[in-house]
Amino acid sequence: QESESENKLDGETASDSESKSEFGGSSPVPTSDDTPEVLNRALSNLSSRWKNWWVRGILTLAMITFFFIIIYLGPMVLMTIVMCVQIKCFHEIITIGYNVYHSYDLPWFRTLSWYFLLCVNYFFYGETVTDYFFTLVQREEPLRILSKYHRFISFALYLTGFCMFVLSLVKKHYRLQFYMFGWTHVTLLIVVTQSHLIIHNLFEGMIWFIVPISCVICNDIMAYMFGFFFGRTPLIKLSPKKTWEGFIGGFFSTVLFGLLLSYVMSGYRCFTCPVEFNNDTNSFTVDCEPSELFQLQEYNIPVVLQSVLGWKTVRMYPFQIHSIALSTFASLIGPFGGFFASGFKRAFKIKDFANTIPGHGGIMDRFDCQYLMATFVNVYIASFIRGPNPSKLIQQFLTLRPDQQLHIFNTLKAHLVDRGVLGSLEDA
Amino acid sequence: EVDLEERLHELDLRSDSDIPDVPPPTDSTPEILKRALSGLSARWKNWWIRGILSLAMISGFFLIIYLGSFMLMLLVLSIQVKCYHEIITIGYRVYHSYDLPWFRSLSWYFLLCVNYFFYGETVADYFATFVQRREQLQFLIRYHRFISFALYLTGFCMFVLSLVKKHYRLQFYMFAWTHVTLLITVTQSHLVIQNLFEGMIWFLVPISSVICNDITAYIFGFFFGRTPLIKLSPKKTWEGFIGGFFSTVIFGFIFSYFLAQHQYFVCPVEYNSETNRFVTECEPSELFQMKKYSVPPLLQAMLGWETVNMYPFQMHSFALSTFASLIGPFGGFFASGFKRAFKIKDFADTIPGHGGIMDRFDCQYLMATFVHVYITSFIRGPNPSKLLKQLLILQPEQQLSVYKTLKSHLVEKGILQPSLRG
């Protein structure tokens, strides 16, 4: 057991030193040791390689435990956590920009970055909140006005920031200021939109939040293990530690893991029901009639697998079929998010995004593969799962003009008659 | 090879004055004009070229308006592509990155993806009846977001695979440059098209207000200009700014008055599936029907009228012209700052005497977004065709229940007669 762990350590340090030599001449400022004193003392006797491995291991367990705790605490806490992670990621990337351009002292710039973050968050939260808290918003007068003119208010706020930027342009610093402006906007595009898509997914049902994130984490860990034991053929020049064996092994394990996790979670209403805001109790509830997706169905096993598994039919949740799509994406395309972040770190000659988590780097380092996953899940849900909300459509219908209402009604009627859903009887 | 990265890093840090100027743009004036004006001195010649080209552009604008909505859409699309090309070319020059592997193809590919996404969202709404009839289009519309995302992802993965050692930083810069450019040019152009579909007047009045402000601010500045406005553009003056503001408001008022009388400008553009053409025919909405307004006592003394007949739209034009005069110029300052930052005189040489297409459209930049936000906040309710499209996607049982609810509502309001056959 011990020799195996030591081999693992050797593998890790060998590739670390390899990547160090690639950074070449201008090396970055070495990251300071962030490990808490407690851990330092406990591990003071071990050699530094062991210590690194233990620190990573302990922190990994700590993060996973933390994840379970906040799931237990409920949607509100989850939303707050997502918000904090988003702010931290934004801060990390902007700080890298400052370091790259030595532009920490640009006039107004720090204020403007945080201001734009606030504006974009205000815009997105307003759009989400209006949808989900509809009745609450309608009751309170100031909220109703804010929600009615929401887009206009958000645009006005953004414009103020834009004009402040233009007024803050200083001779001799134009280029730097435009660079930081561009940097801020691209960061907002990446970080803030993803976090809001995650919250949308969360409201669809906690399972749509937990399964994708766990698949990415599982793929990370599995690919590493397969790569460690069987790794031989390098995958991509960008990340020399990744191998084809790790990639393929990770893919199959993640699909299996996804199937199993979905099976376990689909049985519980607290995970499968959409999150709703209860006006009377003023809290979030997850209570509903489980949709078709979460009801066991008999599936016929394709003949090919029948001989392998020995079963003719199998009882599965339809959601598990969707989980295959999610895990496939997490294993095949998710890593590209990781490669993108690796390329970014090499381009700007940084080892990690920041030193927030000892042994792991910054928050962005943990979330780089999640980057594309959130968007995919959101697009997937919108395209294949959730249709438009009928009550919302009726609401919109009631605000139209009579002639428009009549036109829509007649077209719908013609469509229904066409499909044979409605007979030509008027009293249907 | 290591020098490329080092050099770039140093370039980033040096202050602007150390960066060498780009060579002056070549003279692209057509031969005909050159010969006609060969007699005049250089300053006169420049002024005449600018004048002639301005008139040419304005006439071209009127011609396209006459030709209709479809031509206008094509025009907006061409301008968008040209602006995109201009800004990307500047990026290549700044970073000496014209030969980066794959990059030119990737930039055009991303432009295609984003346009596909936006056109799919807008076009699908307006052409709902056209789309209904064709099976393949229905499939494309239903899974539109998924298809667009898949296309974008392909581009993203190609980018990651194209990363080359020693060029990482350049490639990331160009990637970011492309995305910011897409954000600016493509979103604006689609908002312009959405405004256009609302009614040509929502396209014409804002654009003309910005142009008017440009011209009148210049004229006022020329005759009365004394106090500089902003260090960024030394040619702008407070007198020009304020004079331009008042003239633009008055111009907007008068121009709206004339346009509001014609159905061609006022009606939402609709696609008629029988004739396969765009039509602008409708019952003019309340906005475009004359109303009596009481003149506030202050102005009564000045104008001598007690009430005035105006279109409600003219009140809105007031908001539009105010934005065009007060905030629009910030778009121009932004572009000036950009040009100074990257040491270019003009975005390109497309239009003789005026520079590139972006130079003409920099002030329009914010206007399109403002008009769109204004319309969705204060004017337009939900879009009927979009609503219809969503209704048709629902499950049959949901459609049936919605149908029943709608029917009972319409009967209640007396819009639909009960027990009507056929």
Rounded distance between C-alpha atoms, residue A101 and residue A104, angstroms: 8
Confidence of residue B381 (pLDDT cuts 50, 70, 90): low
Rounded distance between C-alpha atoms, residue A255 and residue A389, angstroms: 31
With an 8 Å Cβ cutoff, are A421 and B396 in contact?
A: yes
- Strand ranges in A100-180 using DSSP code E only, listed in sequence order: none
Secondary structure letter of residue B21 according to DSSP: P
Summarize pLDDT for B193-227 with one digit per residue, the tens: 888 888 888 988 998 899 889 888 888 888 888 88
Length of chain B: 422
Summarize pLDDT for B227-237 with one digit per residue, the tens: 888 877 888 88
Shortest alpha-carbon distance between residue A313 and chain B (Å): 29
Chain A interface, best mutation among B6, B11, B17, B390, by max A CB count within 10 A: B390
With an 8 Å Cβ cutoff, are A408 and B165 in contact?
A: no
Q: Give residue A45's pLDDT.
A: 60
Q: Which is more confident, A141 or B15?
A: A141
**Chain B residue closest in CA terms to A417:** B400
Does B339 have pLDDT greater than 80? Answer: yes
**B160: helix, strand or coil:** helix
Point out which residues pair with B228 in neighbouring strands. B237
With an 8 Å Cβ cutoff, are B373 and A382 in contact?
A: no
**A239: helix, strand or coil:** strand
Does A176 have pLDDT greater than 80? Answer: yes
Most confident of A9-18, A399-408, B161-170, B369-378: B369-378
Q: Give residue A15's pLDDT.
A: 29
Q: Provide mean pLDDT across the span A230-244.
A: 83
Looking only at the bridges linking them, the beta strands covering B233-237 and B228-230 are antiparallel
Q: Nearest to residue A206, comparing CAs of A268, A144, A280?
A: A268
Burial status of residue B391 (CB atoms within 10 A of its CB: 0-12, 13-18, 19 or more): buried
Return all residues near A389 (Cβ < 8 A) that are at least 6 apart.
none
Nearest by CB to A24, which of B2, B369, B392?
B2
With an 8 Å Cβ cutoff, are A397 and B387 in contact?
A: yes
- Asked if the structure places residue A153 within a domain, the reply is no
Q: Provide mean pLDDT across the span A356-377.
A: 75
Q: Provide mean pLDDT across the span B277-304.
A: 76
Nearest by CB to A409, which of B16, B370, B407?
B407
Does B13 have pLDDT greater than 70? Answer: no
Q: Give residue A116's pLDDT.
A: 94
Does A118 have pLDDT greater than 90? Answer: yes
* Number of domains, chain A: 1
- Which residues 111-140 in chain B show a CB within 8 A of chain A? 129
Confidence of residue B323 (pLDDT cuts 50, 70, 90): very high
Does A368 have pLDDT greater than 80? Answer: no
Question: B401 CB near a chain A CB, below 8 Å?
Answer: yes
Question: What DSSP line would sit under B22-50, residue for residue?
Answer: PPPPP----HHHHHHTTTS-HHHHHHHHH
Q: Give residue B293's pLDDT.
A: 78
Is the Cβ–Cβ distance between B185 and B178 less than 8 Å?
A: no
Confidence of residue A212 (pLDDT cuts 50, 70, 90): very high
Summarize pLDDT for A245-270 with one digit per residue, the tens: 889 999 999 999 999 999 988 888 88
N-to-C CA span, chain A: 74
Q: Which is more confident, A149 or B354?
A: A149
Three-state SS letters, A200-211: HHHHHCCHHHHH
Summarize pLDDT for A119-133 with one digit per residue, the tens: 999 998 888 777 766
**Chain A residue closest in CA terms to B154:** A333
Confidence of residue A16 (pLDDT cuts 50, 70, 90): very low
Does B113 have pLDDT greater than 80? Answer: yes
Question: What DSSP line would sit under A71-100, residue for residue?
Answer: HHH-HHHHHHHHHHHHHHHHHHHHHHHHHH
Q: Could you tell me the residue range of the domain that residue A255 belongs to?
A: 74-106+170-387+396-419
Summarize pLDDT for B363-378 with one digit per residue, the tens: 787 888 899 889 888 8
Average per-residue pLDDT for chain B: 78
Question: B272 CB near a chain A CB, below 8 Å?
Answer: no
Average per-residue pLDDT for chain A: 77
With an 8 Å Cβ cutoff, are A396 and B177 in contact?
A: no
Q: What is the pTM of this model?
A: 0.79
Does A56 have pLDDT greater than 90? Answer: no
User: What residue ranges do the domains of chain B occupy?
Assistant: 73-100+164-381, 384-416
Query: How many CB pairs below 8 Å do chains A and B form together?
Result: 193
Q: Give residue B15's pLDDT.
A: 44
Is the Cβ–Cβ distance between A254 and A215 less than 8 Å?
A: yes
Does B270 have pLDDT greater than 70? Answer: yes
Return all residues near B20 (Cβ < 8 A) that are at least 6 apart.
B343
Q: Provide mean pLDDT across the span B53-57.
A: 78
Question: What DSSP line would sit under B70-138, residue for residue?
Answer: HHHHHHHHHHHHHHHHHHHHHHHHHHT-TT-TTHHHHHHHHHHHHHHHHHHHHHHHHTHHHHHT-HHHH
Residues of chain A with C-beta less than 8 angstroms from the C-beta of B179:
186, 189
Nearest by CB to B327, which of A159, A169, A175?
A159
Residues of chain A with C-beta less than 8 angstroms from the C-beta of B393:
387-388
Chain B interface, best mutation among A200, A379, A395, A418, by max B CB count within 10 A: A379
Q: Give residue B382's pLDDT.
A: 62
Does B85 have pLDDT greater than 90? Answer: no
Q: Which is more confident, B86 or A329?
A: A329
Q: Which is more confident, A279 or B389?
A: B389
Nearest by CB to B153, which of A151, A162, A333?
A333
- Asked if the structure places residue A137 within a domain, the reply is no
CB neighbours of residue A300 within 10 Å: 10
- Asked if the structure places residue A55 within a domain, the reply is no
- Asked if the structure places residue A315 within a domain, the reply is yes
Summarize pLDDT for B180-198 with one digit per residue, the tens: 889 888 988 888 888 888 8
Question: B420 CB near a chain A CB, below 8 Å?
Answer: yes
